[in-house]
Chain A
Amino acid sequence: MNNLSLLMDGFATILTWNHLMIMVIGVMLGMLVGVLPGLGAPNGVSLLLPLTFTMDPVSAIILLSCMYWGALFGGSTTSILFNIPGEPSSVATTFDGYPMARNGEATRALTLAFMSAGLGALAGVVMITLLANWVAQFGLKFSSPEYFAVYFLAFCSFIGMSSSAPSKTLVSMMLGLAFATVGMDSVSGGLRLTFGIPDLVKGISFLVAVMGLFGIAELMVTTEEGLSFNGIKSRIRIKDILRTMAELPRYWVSLVRSILIGIWMGITPAGPTAASFMSHGLAKRFSRHPERFGKGEPNGIVSPEAADHSAGTSALLPMLALGVPGSATAAVMMGGLMIWGLTPGPMLFVTRPDFVWGLIASMYLGNVVAVILVLATVPLYASILRVPFAIIGPVIVAVIFTGVYQVANSTFDFWLLLFFALLGYLFKKLDYPVAPLVLTMVLGHRAEEAFRQSMVMSDGSLTVFWSNSLVTTIMGLGVLMLVWPLISKLVGLRGWRQRLHRQKPQTHEPSTPDSRH
């Protein structure tokens, strides 16, 4: 209860016109940064840092955190409209968001994404308000073996239900792992797989890969099919937005599941990207209609978005409760804290309650402001799609190139981009799945690092992954996820589960009779 009254004090601190203005500016700048593929949230926040040097800490953190929310929302926008994830964590949103937009329902896709993202973020803040200390202590239980187990679980939840040939899935998955290992190996302290190319020292940027595999490759397929986004010329009406909002409660199962996954992954620093992949994977696995995923299934948009934002919000918890960054963006904010003269750490709650609770209150308000602002921009974004392809196509390509350059100011990345574009195009046309490549590229390196750290700790003994109840449980869950399709077939769980949570069939889609019954 004490927390609640402190929170009220926080609201009292931030509810001034000045702070509201800062929120709006922060969110709008963030949206811009999120939409531009190369900038991204951590960059955007560090670009704003110099501006905050002269501000008081509360206003400064409001500006930075609101920019972060804005960037998270902006990242999903381009995923849905152009198949270009503005942020790594919105890659999973492209899987169903882009197909839905291509089916002429851009407004619906955007509204679904923004609303579920907002709900996810709010759930994250509520968790921070009520359980900050307990959750932070729980987070401390995680060491390298547990990290590896979490990555393993995320991996197992996503992999396994692909319609492609297994050998193609294998190649795609392994390529992602291989690309992730290029560069500095932090466990041995040496370089590997750089083949003497200086530009590979920093590794292969995930963003460059994604912009090639998704952005340019998609444009190549689109041009080949005749230079247009199919049927996105539908009119945008406020009614569409409202109707989609009313549709949201239907996906409550996915929402709750994804929010839990997001909070979990945000605290154990697997991060928003892993969370969004995992919850998209699970939504598909537990769906009655897994075959609809990848073709514009609403649950496939709601899940990754809710997970992404609840993870993104929870990632600020380690910063507040422990004084350690839970994500790249949190790291920048902590750097800011130090420059403003604050010491991040558990004692911040005691020494500067006005700052901490002001920040938490601004998370509530900032996210509401962000949802309103992004919803207001839906018609604007959707109207971009009515610009002729011969104009918008080149603009997208130019934006991608500037984005690629901004990642590391390296012109070598142009060639990497073209390579990934070619790979993405070939994969798409020859039925290789791209998602496993992207997932393993995100998780592979960190999983390997955690694995090798565990080996150093345990003297090279694999039993470390069964050494305590926590790590055993997570590993067990991972294995369960891996064999789930098999089990459900064997035991006939499918029918049982369907009776358990029956979801209304989607009105807009042709209701395909379920052939299994």
Chain B
Amino acid sequence: MTHNGISRYTMEIATALLTGAIGMAICYGAWQVGTGWTPSGPDSGYFPFWIGILIVAGSLVNLLRTVIGHRHKDETFLDAARLRSLARFTLPIIGFAIVSLLLGLYVGTTLYVLFAMRLQGHYAWWKSLASGIAISICFYLLFELVFQVPLLKGPLEHAFGIY
């Protein structure tokens, strides 16, 4: 951590650890289904296992290059201001995912567009809400009526008898 936000050094290490962890999970999953070479060619887990090993190895190199080489120590990954605008963008998206799970995509979309426009664009409440509802209705017309692909619906739609 530097004074004004997150340093790239930290993030390089974190990312290397993340990819390394994925690699290990893949090795474990591959090991569960067999990693050998049978008479009729490689087993189900043969390729995934070695892929996992390569991911771990690559991540290790990335980690060591960063730590030993002291690379990117002074570079800033995100300063406070950028972090704030990034948070304003990503937090509503995570909220969108959660609300959609509970209340369906239409309610999720309406609320998400409402808050995203408020937080990022500082539009008036009524404008944001109107846009949110308008977009939901567009989705409904397009997907449910024109293409007949149902989107995820929640209790609110069911209360109106829309399934």
Partner of A224, one of B32, B86, B108: B86
Find out whether the CB atom of B85 lies under 8 angstroms from the CB atom of A223. Answer: yes
Find out whether the CB atom of B55 lies under 8 angstroms from the CB atom of A395. Answer: no
Find out whether the CB atom of B8 lies under 8 angstroms from the CB atom of A394. Answer: no
Question: Residue of A at shortest CB range from B92?
Answer: A394
- The B19-39 residues at the A interface (CB cut-off 8 A) are 19, 22-23, 25-26, 29-30, 32-33, 37-39
Find out whether the CB atom of B51 lies under 8 angstroms from the CB atom of A178. Answer: yes
Find out whether the CB atom of B55 lies under 8 angstroms from the CB atom of A224. Answer: no
Per-residue interface assignment for chain A, residues 220 to 236, with 1 indicating a CB less than 8 Å from any chain B CB and 0 otherwise: 10011111000000000
Find out whether the CB atom of B22 lies under 8 angstroms from the CB atom of A398. Answer: no
Asked if A402 is at the interface of the complex by the 8 Å CB criterion, the answer is: yes
Asked if A418 is at the interface of the complex by the 8 Å CB criterion, the answer is: yes
Asked if B11 is at the interface of the complex by the 8 Å CB criterion, the answer is: yes
Asked if A7 is at the interface of the complex by the 8 Å CB criterion, the answer is: no
Residues of B within 8 A of A426 (CB): 11, 15, 18
Partner of A193, one of B48, B77, B122, B131: B48
Find out whether the CB atom of B48 lies under 8 angstroms from the CB atom of A178. Answer: yes
Find out whether the CB atom of A397 lies under 8 angstroms from the CB atom of B54. Answer: no
Partner of B61, one of A167, A415, A432: A167
Asked if A393 is at the interface of the complex by the 8 Å CB criterion, the answer is: yes
Given A390-B116, A391-B121, A459-B39, are A401 and B105 also a contact pair (CB < 8 Å)? yes
Find out whether the CB atom of B116 lies under 8 angstroms from the CB atom of A393. Answer: yes
- The A160-184 residues at the B interface (CB cut-off 8 A) are 165, 167-168, 170-171, 174-175, 177-178, 181
Find out whether the CB atom of B97 lies under 8 angstroms from the CB atom of A418. Answer: yes
Residues of A within 8 A of B86 (CB): 220, 223-224
- The B69-86 residues at the A interface (CB cut-off 8 A) are 77-78, 82, 85-86
Residues of B within 8 A of A448 (CB): 47
- The A188-217 residues at the B interface (CB cut-off 8 A) are 188, 190-195, 216
Q: How far is the CB of B68 from chain A (nearest CB, A)?
A: 13
Find out whether the CB atom of A192 lies under 8 angstroms from the CB atom of B30. Answer: yes
Q: Which of the 9-residue segments A71-79, A127-135, A273-281, A406-414 touches chain B? A: A406-414
Q: How far is the CB of B129 from chain A (nearest CB, A)?
A: 13
Q: How far is the CB of A466 from chain B (nearest CB, A)?
A: 17
Per-residue interface assignment for chain B, residues 104 to 139, with 1 indicating a CB less than 8 Å from any chain A CB and 0 otherwise: 010011001100110011110000000100010001
Find out whether the CB atom of B41 lies under 8 angstroms from the CB atom of A452. Answer: yes
Q: How far is the CB of B39 from chain A (nearest CB, A)?
A: 6
Q: How far is the CA of A506 from the CA of B40 in the complex (A)?
A: 54
- The B91-108 residues at the A interface (CB cut-off 8 A) are 92-94, 96-97, 100-101, 105, 108
Find out whether the CB atom of A171 lies under 8 angstroms from the CB atom of B77. Answer: no
Q: How far is the CB of A151 from chain B (nearest CB, A)?
A: 13
Partner of B147, one of A47, A397, A405, A459: A47
Asked if B149 is at the interface of the complex by the 8 Å CB criterion, the answer is: yes
Asked if B151 is at the interface of the complex by the 8 Å CB criterion, the answer is: yes
Find out whether the CB atom of B121 lies under 8 angstroms from the CB atom of A411. Answer: no
Asked if A495 is at the interface of the complex by the 8 Å CB criterion, the answer is: no
Find out whether the CB atom of A170 lies under 8 angstroms from the CB atom of B58. Answer: yes
SS class, residues of chain B in contact with chain A: helix
Q: How far is the CB of B63 from chain A (nearest CB, A)?
A: 10
Find out whether the CB atom of B85 lies under 8 angstroms from the CB atom of A224. Answer: yes
Q: How far is the CB of A51 from chain B (nearest CB, A)?
A: 10
Find out whether the CB atom of B143 lies under 8 angstroms from the CB atom of A402. Answer: yes
Residues of A within 8 A of B58 (CB): 167-168, 170-171, 174
Q: What total of chain A residues lie within 8 Å of the partner, measured CB to CB? A: 67
Asked if A455 is at the interface of the complex by the 8 Å CB criterion, the answer is: yes
Find out whether the CB atom of B97 lies under 8 angstroms from the CB atom of A193. Answer: no
Per-residue interface assignment for chain A, residues 375 to 411, with 1 indicating a CB less than 8 Å from any chain B CB and 0 otherwise: 0000000000000111101110110011001100101
Residues of A within 8 A of B101 (CB): 411, 414
Find out whether the CB atom of A220 lies under 8 angstroms from the CB atom of B89. Answer: yes
Per-residue interface assignment for chain A, residues 476 to 508, with 1 indicating a CB less than 8 Å from any chain B CB and 0 otherwise: 000000000000000000000000000000000
Residues of A within 8 A of B120 (CB): 223, 227, 389-390, 393-394
Partner of B55, one of A33, A171, A391, A397: A171
- The B41-57 residues at the A interface (CB cut-off 8 A) are 41-45, 47-48, 51-52, 54-55, 57
Residues of B within 8 A of A167 (CB): 58, 61-62, 65
Asked if B152 is at the interface of the complex by the 8 Å CB criterion, the answer is: yes
Residues of A within 8 A of B121 (CB): 388-391
Find out whether the CB atom of A181 lies under 8 angstroms from the CB atom of B113. Answer: no
Residues of B within 8 A of A394 (CB): 92, 112-113, 116-117, 120
Asked if A456 is at the interface of the complex by the 8 Å CB criterion, the answer is: yes
Question: Residue of B at shortest CB range from A48?
Answer: B147
Asked if B90 is at the interface of the complex by the 8 Å CB criterion, the answer is: yes
Identify the 7 closest CB pairs spanning chains A and B, nearest first: A390-B121, A455-B41, A394-B116, A171-B58, A167-B61, A193-B29, A223-B89
A residues within 8 Å of B by Cβ? 32-33, 36, 39, 43-44, 47, 165, 167-168, 170-171, 174-175, 177-178, 181, 185, 187-188, 190-195, 216, 219-220, 223-227, 388-391, 393-395, 397-398, 401-402, 405-406, 409, 411, 414-415, 417-418, 421, 426-427, 429-430, 432, 448, 451-452, 454-456, 459-460
22 A–B contact pairs at CB < 8 A?
Answer: A33-B147, A36-B142, A39-B147, A165-B65, A171-B19, A181-B51, A190-B33, A192-B30, A193-B30, A223-B89, A224-B85, A224-B86, A390-B121, A393-B116, A394-B92, A395-B113, A402-B105, A405-B100, A405-B105, A418-B93, A418-B94, A426-B18
